[in-house]
Amino acid sequence: EAGVAQSPRYKIIEKRQSVAFWCNPISGHATLYWYQQILGQGPKLLIQFQNNGVVDDSQLPKDRFSAERLKGVDSTLKIQPAKLEDSAVYLCASSSSVPLSKKASEATDTQYFGPGTRLTVL
């Protein structure tokens, strides 16, 4: 099974420029997440999609960040304009509705992460 694909792997831009990241989730996974991981921190959710609808974007800085998931498969995350504090690794994860165990009471999703895009804003 192919994993979550992300591109580019690295990007260096100057502040106030725009940048876009692409994610291709595991085939058949309905849920897609974008996380931001600042150096020395754990990943933090930016946005969660279920198919092509937004489930949670409460932590997405909507004045500069936007994301879409057309056709419920690939997703693009954009930053415009970038700030110095946006320097981070942007991780995409996907999950399916298959439970972690056979017990219905333990139904949840396993999130699989891509390798991330390392963004440096100068």
Partner 1 sequence: QKEVEQDPGPLSVPEGAIVSLNCTYSNSAFQYFMWYRQYSRKGPELLMYTYSSGNKEDGRFTAQVDKSSKYISLFIRDSQPSDSATYLCAVNQAGTALIFGKGTTLSVSS
Residue ranges that bind partner 1, judged by CB under 8 A: 4, 31, 33, 35, 40-45, 48, 56, 91, 93, 100-101, 105-116, 118
Residue type, 64: R
Are the C-beta atoms of residues 61 and 118 closer than 8 Å to each other?
no
Task: Please identify, using beta-carbon distances, which residue of 74 and 109 lies nearer to partner 1.
Answer: 109
Are the C-beta atoms of residues 86 and 66 closer than 8 Å to each other?
no
Nearest to 21 by CA among 71, 83, 88: 88
Task: Please identify, using beta-carbon distances, which residue of 80 and 110 lies nearer to partner 1.
Answer: 110
Q: Least distance in Å: CB of 89 to partner 1?
A: 9
Q: Least distance in Å: CB of 44 to partner 1?
A: 7
